[in-house]
Amino acid sequence: MLRPLRPLVDQIVTVWTIKLHNRMSSSRHPLAALCQLSATADKRANLRTAQKLLEEAKRRGARMAFLPEGFDYIGSSAAETLGLAETLAGETVAQYTQMARKLDIWLSLGGFHERGRDWESEQRIYNTHIVIDNQGEIVSTYRKCHLFDVELPEKGVSLNESAFTIPGDSLAAPVQTPVGQLGLGVCYDLRFPEFSLALRKSGADILTFPSAFTEATGAAHWEVLLRARAIENQCYVLAAAQVGRHHAKRSSYGHALAVDPWGAVIADCGGERAGVALVEVDLEKIRTVRGNMPLQKHRREAGFYASPESPT
């Protein structure tokens, strides 16, 4: 499905492209760049890697690039995570707005560690998905509303996101981008089908779930959940991902994935290293799939599903 292109200079990044086209920049459909990172607590190193990915994405003709949850950093403790947090007006977001403007590319930055309300007294953060246009303007933000509080002792998974994160209190309306109408989620939101359905009903052509799935949950559920959300909503699903070891206690599954509206996987960045995959977003394919199987037309009113009746 994918073939590696030339590695970047430091050989830490691999670039893939779909075999269907030899010259991606001449494609008649807009290109999206799906990025995979191995973030640590070193913000500058993370930024350098992301910049190389974004420069290569632009060189290959991408109109919009997608970075994963924790693109700014992944701390080794709650204290380190909070200590590195910034506001939307801070240095990290400023660097990405400059990059978007310089490269003339839209950015989806999934999972920024944003200082929360009453920061001085509460010391809590939001997990914020930011969309920046090619002029360097923030055009949408969504604060993750489903927090990952999960204990799986048999699989070595123990994370309590709500210990230091404030859940968002609303969904963000889909935003018009060069690759289509984009519905914003973050990682664990993927597991709640009603979340995706609400975005689909609001006009989303693409659902995006920037993530840092654990190795255990990723191996079990990552692909099947992404494909399910694509199939039931007849949308493209783009899921940038973290990969590999972040620190001694945490590593991520990787496999940044793109799925088409029929549920076919059209890009997979693998489970080993940082990289970027370029994919076409064919909006006509969405219309065709929805027209041939009109799920929204066949869906009953919400109240129909609310209270199943006992058989008589």
Rg, Å, the chain Cα set:
19
Domain ranges across the chain: 2-293
Residue 18 pLDDT: 44
pLDDT confidence bin for 310, thresholds 50/70/90: confident
Note the pTM of the prediction, 2 decimals.
0.91
Supply the DSSP symbol for 211: B
Residue 22 pLDDT: 32
Q: Are strands 31-37 and 274-280 parallel, antiparallel or unpaired?
A: antiparallel
| DSSP string computed for 78-92 | HHHHHHT-B-TTSHH
The helix (H) or strand (E) run that includes residue 165 is: none
User: What values do phi and psi take at 18, rounded to 5?
Assistant: -65, 140
Residue 28 pLDDT: 85
178 CB neighbour count, 10 Å cutoff? 16
Q: pLDDT tens across 111-138, in order?
A: 999 999 999 999 999 999 999 999 999 9
CATH number for the region 2-293 comes to: 3.60.110.10
CB 200 within 8 A of CB 174: no
Q: pLDDT tens across 147-175, in order?
A: 988 888 887 777 788 989 999 999 999 99
Q: pLDDT tens across 211-234, in order?
A: 999 999 999 999 999 999 999 999
**Predicted confidence (pLDDT) at residue 5 exceeds the cutoff of 70:** no
Six-digit token string for 187 = 């990682």
Q: Which residues contact 304 (CB under 8 A, 6 or more apart)?
A: none
Q: pLDDT tens across 244-302, in order?
A: 999 988 999 999 999 999 999 999 999 999 999 999 999 999 999 999 999 999 999 88
Percent share of the chain, pLDDT over 70: 91
| DSSP string computed for 43-77 | HHHHHHHHHHHHHHHHHTT-SEEEE-TTSS---SS
Six-digit token string for 284 = 């006509």
Query: What does the alpha-carbon distance between residue 249 and residue 240 come to, in Å, rounded to a whole number?
Result: 22
Q: Are strands 2-4 and 13-18 parallel, antiparallel or unpaired?
A: antiparallel
Residues labelled as active-site residues:
69, 144, 187
CB 184 within 8 A of CB 140: yes
**Predicted confidence (pLDDT) at residue 303 exceeds the cutoff of 80:** yes
